């Protein structure tokens, strides 16, 4: 699945491994959150991410907390605002 902006969500999902640093996006009770963390568990439909720092604007999500987020294969819960993404690496101008 490739988005209108050219993001290859399925390709990124295939690259997920335990121990990999990721950006996590999720929602709860009508609010959207974003944090950085490390993958600690992968299942067919879910990624467990341990947050590396407190999430801005939230007292509920602190460093060390585990967040479970759907994978692309979970078409009912997954969305571009409820997913795990690899950090982008930009090429340096030379």
Task: Give the phi and the psi of residue 11 in degrees, each rounded to 5.
Answer: -65, -45
Q: Which domain holds residue 36?
A: 9-85
Q: What is the DSSP letter of 10?
A: H
pLDDT in tens, 24-35: 999 988 899 999
How would you write the pLDDT of the chain (94 residues) with one tens digit per residue? 544 555 788 999 999 999 999 999 999 888 999 999 999 999 999 999 999 999 988 888 999 999 999 999 999 999 989 999 998 765 565 5
Instruction: State how far the alpha carbon of 82 is from the alpha carbons of 2, 24, 27, 29, 56, in Å.
Output: 16, 8, 6, 13, 17
Structure tokens at 63: 């460093």
Domain assignment present for 3: no
pLDDT value, residue 60? 87
Structure tokens at 73: 């294969």
pLDDT value, residue 49? 98
How many structural domains does the chain have? 1
**Which CATH number characterizes residue 65's domain?**
2.30.30
- Length of the chain, please? 94
Domain assignment present for 22: yes
């Amino acid at each position: 699945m490739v988005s209108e902006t050219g993001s290859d969500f399925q390709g990124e999902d295939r690259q997920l491994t335990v121990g990999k640093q990721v950006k996590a996006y999720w929602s709860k009770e009508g609010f959207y959150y974003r944090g950085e963390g490390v993958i600690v568990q992968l299942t067919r439909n879910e990624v467990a991410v341990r947050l590396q720092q407190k999430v801005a604007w939230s007292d509920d999500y602190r460093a060390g907390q585990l967040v479970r987020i759907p994978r692309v294969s979970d078409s009912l819960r997954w969305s571009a605002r409820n997913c795990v993404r690899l950090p982008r690496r930009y090429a340096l101008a030379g």
